[in-house]
Amino acid sequence: VQKTWAISGVDLHLDLHGTRVRAALEIALRDAVTTGRLAAGTRLPSTRALAADLGLARNTVAEAYGQLVAEGWLTARAGSGTRVAGRASPEGRASRGVAARSPVPPGGGPPPAARFDLRPGSPDVSAFPRAAWLSAARRALGGAPFSALDYGDPRGRIELRAELAGYLSRARGLRTSADRIVVCTGFAQALAVLCAALRGRGLARLAVERYGLPSVWETARAAGIETAWLDVDGDGAVIEALPSAGAVLLTPAHQFPLGVALSARRRAAIVAWAQAADGWVIEDDYDGEFRYDRHPLGAVQGLDPERVVYAGTASKTLAPGLRLAWLALPGALVDDVMAAKVLADRQSSAIDQLTLAELIRSGAYDRHVRRSRLTYRRRRDRLISSVPSPVRVSGIAAGLHALVELPVGVTEAEVVADGAARGLALEGLGAYAATAHDHGQALVVGYAKPPEHAFTGALARLVAVLSSG
């Protein structure tokens, strides 16, 4: 169905595919603004008028406006309606993915700066243990042979792989050894080299949770691997109805973004599947160190080290900017993954690896993780006790983010836009839906992200947003 309407003499075309009316409306409006067809300052029709013109629900129009306000393309002020933002330009904006949904103001004009940020993905980087890192770096480099600075084993420095093997076994229950660990430049690269290796061995399809990180699906597809979707319920990924696939990627400790843990029964079942089907389980243990209420849930890898590929990262325990992550591999995959790592970048930075090895060896890494766990647990408790009553917080047993479930009738777009207007960056659950976003409207709140001094302000703004309307 095609609909055409005019705003200030500019014709806009709307392609309505099935039920995705709101997305189509957003696209038509965004397109008109980014191409300059709708000039800065142009006043848009009221939601009531446009809804009547197009035969849509008023809420649908309000949500589309809200999303574009959140993205900075439109501005909304009481009394002057909704207008095209000043000097909106497409330069420097991501064209898709999570970044495109962030409330980054268009170039020019005073930005409604997001002073506070509760989007998920990062720890509090202002708590990075600078002094401990510097002294570990000094010790590590001081004691390293010159050969450490030459080309070396593509798996990474033996000092780090040996420390990681010990750490992962005591902290996460892994059964592994230094010769099966490959240090990578973030989980991002770890997944890319793993996909390259598995594709080379004939893997055609990877099953993934249908709420997750879009970059994960894109990485698989870039390697020539198709994705198939798994539902997620209160026990984690639903693996009883596993689509035909040669491998499954899961976030068992704390599903990203829904926050549930994979139940013991499903852990056993997925490993039994891998054994029977000659398949692989990829375990993304991105925030496994952070568990608050129960005893630590060990990694699935411990159930079968020959079938489960474990992926860990320093992005949550230390800082994403380090770009340090690691794979603990089944013996059968080591050579292929090493070959893919050589092609990707030969090896990761030796000095950073030596430093992390020394940080772990000295106990400073464990101390930092313990301290962070206490801080984030306190923040999580404050989040839970602060949200107004019809709002529910779930996914709280672990990790650095929680799901803040909105009451019926309240949409993510409205809440994200309201947050942006108050200087608070928020992210809706819809940003992580691979298929229909049918889980209920919710925010994925990264409570670890603000620096300690800004957490109270961020939380107060979130509560204000959730209490209004």
Q: Which of 178, 308, 325, 357 binds ligand PLP (CB under 6 A)?
A: 325
Distance CA 451, CA 86 (A): 31
* 232-261 binders of ligand PLP (CB under 6 A): 251, 256
Distance CA 341, CA 24 (A): 41
Query: Is the Cβ of residue 203 or residue 216 nearer to ligand PLP in the bound state?
Result: 216
Q: Secondary structure of the chain in the HEC alphabet?
A: CEEEEEECCEEEEEECCCCCHHHHHHHHHHHHHHCCCCCCCCECCCHHHHHHHHCCCHHHHHHHHHHHHHHCCEEEECCCEEEECCCCCCCCCCCCCHHHHCCCCCCCCCCCCCCEECCCCCCCHHHCCHHHHHHHHHHHHHHCCHHHHCCCCCCCCHHHHHHHHHHHHHHHCCCCCHHHEEEECHHHHHHHHHHHHHHHCCCCEEEEECECCHHHHHHHHHCCCEEEEECEECCEECCCCCCCCCEEEECCCCCCCCCCCCCHHHHHHHHHHHHHHCCEEEEECCCCCCECCCCCCCCHHHHCCCCEEEEEECCCCCCHHHCCEEEECCHHHHHHHHHHHHHHHCCCCHHHHHHHHHHHHHCHHHHHHHHHHHHHHHHHHHHHHHCCCCCEEECCCECCEEEEECCCCCCHHHHHHHHHHCCEECCEHHHHECCCCCCCCEEEEECCCCCHHHHHHHHHHHHHHHHCC
- For residue 425, the minimal CB distance to ligand PLP (Å) is 15
* 262-301 binders of ligand PLP (CB under 6 A): 284, 286
Any contact of residue 310 with ligand PLP (CB under 6 A)?
no
Any contact of residue 431 with ligand PLP (CB under 6 A)?
no
Q: Which of 121, 156, 246, 430 binds ligand PLP (CB under 6 A)?
A: 121
Any contact of residue 464 with ligand PLP (CB under 6 A)?
no
Distance CA 131, CA 457 (A): 27
- For residue 348, the minimal CB distance to ligand PLP (Å) is 12
- For residue 191, the minimal CB distance to ligand PLP (Å) is 8
Any contact of residue 337 with ligand PLP (CB under 6 A)?
no
- For residue 193, the minimal CB distance to ligand PLP (Å) is 12
Distance CA 374, CA 388 (A): 24
Any contact of residue 186 with ligand PLP (CB under 6 A)?
yes
Query: Is the Cβ of residue 30 or residue 379 nearer to ligand PLP in the bound state?
Result: 379
- Of 436, 434, 287, nearest to 369 (Cα)? 287
- For residue 327, the minimal CB distance to ligand PLP (Å) is 11
Any contact of residue 213 with ligand PLP (CB under 6 A)?
yes
- For residue 254, the minimal CB distance to ligand PLP (Å) is 9
- For residue 128, the minimal CB distance to ligand PLP (Å) is 14
- Tokens representing 141 are 């480099």
Integer CA distances (angstroms), 321 to 23, 123, 161, in order: 33, 11, 20
# of chain residues touching ligand PLP (CB under 6 A): 13
Any contact of residue 348 with ligand PLP (CB under 6 A)?
no
Query: Is the Cβ of residue 5 or residue 128 nearer to ligand PLP in the bound state?
Result: 128
- For residue 322, the minimal CB distance to ligand PLP (Å) is 9
- For residue 285, the minimal CB distance to ligand PLP (Å) is 9
Residue with smallest beta-carbon separation from ligand PLP: 186
Any contact of residue 102 with ligand PLP (CB under 6 A)?
no
Q: Residue 74 carries which side chain, given as an amino acid letter?
A: L
Any contact of residue 187 with ligand PLP (CB under 6 A)?
yes
Peptide bond into 257 cis (omega under 30): yes
Using the contact rule CB under 6 A, the part of the chain among 148-156, 220-228, 312-320, 414-422 near ligand PLP is 312-320
Q: Which of 98, 188, 384, 433 binds ligand PLP (CB under 6 A)?
A: 188
Query: Is the Cβ of residue 66 or residue 186 nearer to ligand PLP in the bound state?
Result: 186
Query: Is the Cβ of residue 73 or residue 286 nearer to ligand PLP in the bound state?
Result: 286
- For residue 81, the minimal CB distance to ligand PLP (Å) is 38
Query: Is the Cβ of residue 124 or residue 418 nearer to ligand PLP in the bound state?
Result: 124
Query: Is the Cβ of residue 314 or residue 383 nearer to ligand PLP in the bound state?
Result: 314
Query: Is the Cβ of residue 98 or residue 454 nearer to ligand PLP in the bound state?
Result: 98
Any contact of residue 159 with ligand PLP (CB under 6 A)?
no
- For residue 468, the minimal CB distance to ligand PLP (Å) is 29
- For residue 182, the minimal CB distance to ligand PLP (Å) is 14
Q: Which of 60, 75, 176, 313 binds ligand PLP (CB under 6 A)?
A: 313
**List of residues contacting ligand PLP (CB under 6 A):** 121, 186-188, 213, 251, 256, 284, 286, 313, 315, 320, 325
